[in-house]
Chains A and B, each alone.
Chain A
Amino acid sequence: MTAAVDAREHHLALFKAFAGNGAAGSPAWLRDLRGQAIARFAELGFPSTKQEEWRFTSVAPIAETTFALSHGRDAPGVTASALAPYWIAGPGAIRLVFVNGTFAPALSAAAELPRGVRAGSLRAALASDAELAQRHLARHADYQTSPFAALNTAFLSDGAFVYVPAGVELERPIEVVFAVATDGEREALVAHPRTLVIVERGARATVLESYVAPQGGVYWTNAVTEIALAQGARLEHYRIQRESREAYQVATTHATQDRDTVLRLHPVALGAALARHDLRTELAGTGGELILNGLYLLRGRQHADHHTVIDHAQPHCASHEYFNGLLGEQAHGVFNGRIIVRPGAQRTDSKQTNNNLLLSADARADSQPQLEIYADDVKCTHGSTVGPLDETALYYLRSRGLAAETAAGMLTYGFAAEILGRMEHAAVRDELDRVIRGRLADRTRGGRRGAT
């Protein structure tokens, strides 16, 4: 408890320095927002496992570490060649790279963008697109209930800004890379990256967020992503979390979907010692469609906790959620998926599945699918499984001539590949396929180290 109080005081002190220093030149509305957010954080503090939402995930390791703010720290070691192995979206991508929370134009690959499209630094957008930023920032990700979203909002200074104007169909993916540099740092760093994605009426885009640490080490990423889809917009969104195996990540992704929108979210968690992702989408207009297609692939003592909320606020929406977890060694996977169907949200069609594969005797899975339904004309289902590889499927594969080990490897891969199969962007899918095959091969060789 005292550690949590100390930690709170520490972050309040960091904020004081931040507000008096680098953030002083910001517009008044932003300074107000930050002030409200830090006040809220001061009230909420770090959560404890006594809180229902945090029952299975202790943030004590984060509270007990004294972090220094990463903003503006030099990172000479993070070069284009150091980052190149982490590119996912292929050579045609528009790439935005952020190091220690700050936009790094030299590492980014800008491109000729269709008229009106913005893909750049949020800090720049605060000046150039102030009205848009003000209209959307902190409107989707609620900092009143989450201390982590509050903290991110308090330290809001840079991040990615993507804006696709009405009717524009952007073919090339936008890849946003957040890297933390740990070399030469005496203290553990904390970064609060922010991403804002706005897709206007009838527009279409593919955005990929990637979290990496080429130098490994202990640090904390506290990320917030806000997504706003206007009527008829379509967004394919990937989030590939490959933090250092010693790092912590807390992430908040909140999306708001207007009428007839299609949102396809693909969160993939591979890295971090401790990762927590709160993902919430609100189907706020009729005819909305959501695919939430997630994967967590953990080993060692990794712990990843996904809390998802799909809020059906309007009728005639469909949501399909799939989360597969592969848990090796002493890994612990937590899934909590809530589907809310509000009064009047008739004709809701909602399906949710969470499947967990336990690959070792010490792995552990907690699964909490939840349906909360206040309308009657609905079709909602959820399913959850936890278990080892299916014996009958193993036998089936062996009866076709595959060795037992090959059969087990194929089933394990298939468990992950099922999620990859729903990804629409071929280059992204293929690269992730390569990453995951590598991870699984590493596992069967008994390897534990190496890049995640």
Chain B
Amino acid sequence: MSELIHRRSKSFTLIIWVFVFFWIVAAGFPFLWTMWGSFKVQGDFFSKADWGYAISGLRTQIETGSSFTGDGYHGAWITKSFWKAALNTMVVVISVVIISLTLGTLGGYALARSGKKYAFYLLMLALVFRAMPHITLVSGYLLPFFEWNLWGYLPTAIIVMVAINQPFTLWMLHSFFLNIPKDLDESAMVDGCTRFQAFRRVIVPVMWPGVITTGLFSFLLAYNDFTVTATLLNNSNQTMVPKIASFLGTTQVEGNVMFAVAAVVSATAPLFILVMFFQRQIVSGLTAGAVKG
């Protein structure tokens, strides 16, 4: 009897392992493949004859003399000035993270400590705001921004992204602040601090784990945004994602898809590094809202 259970669970384990293996391949292989292919010429990456060439790099060898080439990267970064888009992305992302977190910690702290009914209403309102498709909001901004000459500039996009991400930031930080014991700041206030002093002296030093996790998600939201950056920025202020989208329109005709491939790989690399270093925080952040709420 026990042998039977043992045997059955063994085959079950095998099925599960095969399943997980397939998932890993589905999740990881596309990235590996594209990264490898970004160092080839177009004739190999999109091989008419045999996709095996993408691995061996036959045409790359014929065209450039070695199995790997940096032509795609050179074309994207230098010829098509992708470096400028990367710089813009850096400015946008850093500003969005800093401003979002500043506003969010203040608001999230207040929501966590209020205990009044209106705090709950505000959280519900934030949930409704969180559900709004970004493009519907953008269609509300465009005309006023055109009229007031605010359209096209980085600060405009930054402020808009901060506001759009605020509901999410508030929810997340609110749930982190709920985990910091109330006694901490209340005892500081008994000792004569004002609410703000208590926040600054007592809460700020212990809030960093939550703030870092929320910051990671703000980073991702800003970095991955296409809707706002594609519609609110002019060509010279473009960030990486809309720049890549614009490659699709122009370079495919010129036969330079490899520029886009190289740009895609370049834009994915920072995200890889982010996940590598902050995997634990990302996992805890994803579950923060769910497991507790």
Do A and B associate with each other?
Answer: no
